[in-house]
């Protein structure tokens, strides 16, 4: 459903509230519709590691529309052309991976904003602007409504995290523990003390700058701890993981029954 952009999640984050979301990785509008119908605050369509294209993105955005769930997209790169197309399709915010330093952070924000705050193209014929029906209203509202999420995943970003998070327009800093642990030389070991300290440094920088914290969780017990530590934007699950894990559990139960 097409309508004026109204980013309830951005307002809630600014008010200090915790929110619940999930990844969409199956590129399926049916899965997106199911996930949205359960009441998540936001859903994050993954175009960095997901297998979809702009047409599957459009279908998922259409499926989420009207549910009250805020549609977000992780783009594949800090590229203004990519960010522009995703926002024009109707995403209410973007997560930008591999933002390594203040200059890259400034570029990411500019790509999300219309002039004079940024460089996003002013076309009014796209889906987000109702295909021209309310372009001027969309242009007026978009800069204040679009959620800008930057991911910290590199050593360079760690060195400049304080400077990055003072860039005007950054709403959320999202910790990518898997890539961050690899960057620090501890592949697949996000619990390594050096990684734990790096994440703590990001948390301190976010609190100092007044920027919301986000990250992933792999269980409700883990998510509950993250919320208690001040995270406001936690991915609780993914459509792909829910299908994979539940299917595997059912097959395992069947195999174990046959052993009896």
Output the average pLDDT for the chain.
96
Are the C-beta atoms of 94 and 73 separated by less than 8 Å? yes
Q: Catalytic: 49?
A: yes
Which sequence spans correspond to the domains of the chain?
Answer: 8-259
User: CATH number for the 8-259 domain, one of 3.40.50.10860, 1.10.490.10, 3.10.129.10, 3.20.20.60?
Assistant: 3.20.20.60
Q: Report helix angle 54-64 to 80-89, nearest 10.
A: 40
Separation CA 119–CA 108 (nearest Å): 10
The pLDDT value recorded for residue 259 is 87
Residues whose CB falls within 8 Å of the CB of residue 110, separated by 6 or more in sequence, listed in order:
80, 117, 118, 119, 120
Average pLDDT over residues 46-59: 97
Q: Could you report the per-residue pLDDT of 60-101, keeping only the tens digit for each?
A: 999 999 999 999 999 999 999 999 999 999 999 999 999 999
DSSP code per residue over 154-190: SHHHHHTHHHHTTSTT--EEEE-HHHHHHHTT-TT-T
Annotated active-site residue in 49, 92, 126, 186 = 49
At 105, is the pLDDT very low, low, confident or very high (cuts 50, 70, 90)?
A: very high
Helix (H) or strand (E) holding 246: helix 239-259
CA–CA dist 138, 5 (Å, integer): 7
pLDDT for 4: 75
SS3 label, residue 243: helix
Residue 4's contacts (CB-CB under 8 Å, 6 or more residues apart) are 130, 134, 137, 138, 141
What is the rounded average pLDDT of the residues 28-56? 98
pLDDT exceeds cutoff 90 at 59: yes
Instruction: Tell me the backbone φ, ψ of residue 70, rounded to 5 degrees.
Output: -85, 125
In whole angstroms, what is the distance from residue 138 CA to residue 13 CA?
21
pLDDT confidence bin for 1, thresholds 50/70/90: low
Q: Please give the model's pTM, rounded to 2 decimal places.
A: 0.96
Structure tokens given for 135: 């372009």
The two structure tokens encoding residue 216: 């992933």
Q: What is the pLDDT of residue 122?
A: 95
Mark residue 156 as left, alpha or beta (left: phi above 0; alpha: psi -120 to 50; beta: remaining). Answer: alpha
> Any residues with CB less than 8 A from the CB of 204 and at least 6 apart, and which?
none
User: Which residues lie closer than 8 Å to 55 by C-beta, 6 or more apart?
Assistant: none
* CA 186 from centroid of its chain's CA atoms: 24
């Amino acid at each position: 459903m097409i309508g004026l952009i109204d980013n309830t999640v951005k307002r809630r984050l600014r008010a200090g509230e915790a929110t619940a979301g999930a990844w969409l990785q199956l590129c399926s509008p049916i899965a997106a519709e199911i996930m949205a119908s359960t009441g998540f605050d936001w859903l994050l369509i993954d175009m960095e590691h997901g297998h979809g294209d702009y047409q599957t993105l459009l279908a998922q955005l259409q499926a989420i529309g009207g549910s009250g769930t805020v549609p977000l997209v992780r783009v594949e790169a800090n590229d203004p052309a990519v960010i522009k197309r995703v926002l024009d399709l109707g995403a209410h915010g973007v997560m930008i991976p591999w933002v390594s330093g203040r200059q890259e952070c400034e570029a990411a924000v500019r790509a999300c904003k219309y002039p004079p705050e940024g460089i996003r193209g002013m076309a009014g014929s796209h889906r987000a602007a109702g295909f021209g029906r309310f372009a001027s209203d969309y242009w007026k509202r978009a800069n204040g409504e679009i959620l800008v999420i930057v991911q910290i995943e590199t050593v360079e970003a760690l060195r400049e995290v304080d400077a990055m998070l003072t860039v005007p327009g950054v709403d959320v800093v999202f910790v990518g523990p898997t890539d961050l642990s690899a960057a620090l030389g501890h592949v697949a070991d996000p619990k390594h003390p050096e990684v734990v300290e790096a994440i703590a440094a990001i948390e301190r920088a976010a609190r100092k700058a007044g920027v919301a914290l986000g990250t992933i969780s792999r269980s409700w017990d883990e998510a509950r701890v993250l919320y208690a530590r001040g995270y406001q934007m936690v991915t609780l699950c993914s459509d792909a993981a829910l299908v994979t894990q539940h299917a595997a559990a059912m097959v395992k139960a069947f195999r174990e029954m046959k052993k009896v």
